[in-house]
Amino acid sequence: MYDRLKGFRDFYPEEMSARREVIDTVETAAARYGFREIGTPYLERTQMYVDKSGEEIVDELYAFEDKGGREIALTPELTPTVARMVVAKQQALSKPIKWVSTRPFWRYEQVQQGRFREFYQTNADIFGSSEPEADAEILAFAADALTDLGLTADDFEFRVSHRDILGGLLRSFDADVHVADAIRAVDKSEKVEREEYLGLLSDAGLSYAQADEFADLIERGDLDEIADFGGESVASAVKNLRSVLAAADDFGAGDYCEISLTTARGLDYYTGVVFECFDSTGDVSRATFGGGRYDDLIESFGGQPTPAVGVGIGNATLQLLCQRAGVWPDEELTTDYYVLTVGDTRDVASRIARDLRAAGNIVEADVSDRSFGAQMSYADSVNASTVVIVGERDLENGEVTIKDMETGDQTTAAVDEFPGDRGEPTYEDFE
């Protein structure tokens, strides 16, 4: 007997049915906005992540040397891969480029609620537009995906911030501040005590008094005050943030957005608007998902300057939110028809099963030479809505029996007329 690896999960059919429904809902929302599905490799060169994040990232990867002596890693995120893909065909791709995919990723990190070492995520990205409408469309798609799942404005909120506001404010202090470290401190601000938070800002180069002033400033979130304090660059970022929120309002996502400058997103490649989705009730403490603008990444991969913005929707944390709100799909099997055979009736039963499947139904039939009772038990176990009994005696009378599994009622139908031109024939059609 082998144990499953820590941080990896098995999904049995009932669970997978619910997951598939959620993934399909999210992907359908993306398709309505014109996002086109791509496929990406599960392995990339380790150096790609080292160049982006530094040597220390290797400790978080499933990285190894392959048989050809290449240092490779299981992909921990999608953004570097899609950046590489854009660079490879940049001149041939029509702009804006709008891509979506759902797939697994791997990180060797501490397992906790909503976080696993193998995790599944839907990513949607727009390349080639720096306009506020691109950021707003990402927010609108994400909002539509959630509301399509049955969530409402009472269930979730998008906390929207701007990295250039944070960076500009930090640079406005008379201090030798390491902006990236300070922004990572902001990203941790809601997870640590204030004294520790101020200590992290001080470690990044602010004095304690400056750290306290900076923390108070972004917690108040008064954009006019912030624009006045930070000068021209911060005022420009404030204007951009307001433009994105105005566009999000026009696109139908404004009701889900609130300004939260303590939202920072820890990755260094973010350059403009960033956001995270949270459970409005606070029952799910972690961010459900997040995203933002990363205008410099394509160029850093050797491509032409190309603005970009995207979102990554994690399946595990989305499941926590949906379960809390009571909209996670039922984890159960669904079967439209079970075609039950009694005696030597395989040829007729197979024809009926084929006709029902051709109409788009989910149909099962006996493949184990089981008894009548065993077949009925199996039909019940797979939640068959209707059982079509094809028995030798019924066929002698030119009939089959139709049984409604919810009520237990049954009737007969002429075998030559079943299913006929009915796409989804039921007991009621023949009673």
Give pLDDT, residue 52: 81
pTM, full prediction = 0.91
Q: What is the pLDDT of residues 153-171, one digit of tens each?
A: 999 999 999 999 999 999 9
Instruction: Give yes or no for a cis peptide into 104 (omega within 30° of 0).
Output: no
Cα separation, 106 vs 29, in Å, equals 25
Give pLDDT, residue 127: 97
79 assigned ligand-binding residue? yes
Is residue 360 pLDDT above 90, yes or no? Answer: yes
Average pLDDT over residues 191-213: 92
125 assigned ligand-binding residue? yes
Cα separation, 43 vs 8, in Å, equals 18
CA angle in degrees (0–180, nearest 5) for 312-27-383: 120
The CATH code for residues 13-40+75-325 is: 3.30.930.10
Instruction: Of 267, 75, 69, give the one whose Cα is nearest residue 187.
Output: 267
Q: Where are the domains of the chain?
A: 13-40+75-325, 335-429
User: Lowest mean pLDDT: which of 183-192, 301-310, 313-322, 375-384?
Assistant: 183-192
Q: Does residue 158 sit in helix, strand or coil?
A: strand
Dig out the tokens for 293 from the structure.
């603008």
Average pLDDT over residues 40-53: 92
Average pLDDT over residues 349-353: 96
Give pLDDT, residue 366: 95
Give pLDDT, residue 357: 97
Share of the chain above pLDDT 70, in %: 100
90 assigned ligand-binding residue? no
Of the two residues 131 and 114, the one the predictor is more confident about is 131
Give pLDDT, residue 190: 85
Q: How crowded is residue 19: how many other Cβ atoms within 10 Å of its Cβ? A: 18
Q: How crowded is residue 217: how many other Cβ atoms within 10 Å of its Cβ? A: 16
Give pLDDT, residue 67: 96
Give pLDDT, residue 51: 86
Tally the residues of the chain: 431
Dig out the tokens for 375 from the structure.
């077949």
Is residue 399 pLDDT above 90, yes or no? Answer: yes
Is residue 265 pLDDT above 90, yes or no? Answer: no
Cα separation, 393 vs 344, in Å, equals 11
Amino acid at 323: Q
Q: What is the pLDDT of residues 48-59, one digit of tens each?
A: 999 888 888 999
Is residue 372 pLDDT above 80, yes or no? Answer: yes
Is residue 266 pLDDT above 80, yes or no? Answer: no
Give pLDDT, residue 401: 96
Give pLDDT, residue 226: 95
Q: How crowded is residue 153: how many other Cβ atoms within 10 Å of its Cβ? A: 12
270 assigned ligand-binding residue? yes
Give pLDDT, residue 348: 96
The mean pLDDT value of the chain amounts to 94
Beta strands in 154-288 (DSSP E): 156-162, 257-259, 273-279
Domain 335-429 has CATH 3.40.50.150: no
107 assigned ligand-binding residue? yes
Q: Does residue 371 sit in helix, strand or coil?
A: coil
Is residue 267 pLDDT above 80, yes or no? Answer: no
Give pLDDT, residue 237: 96
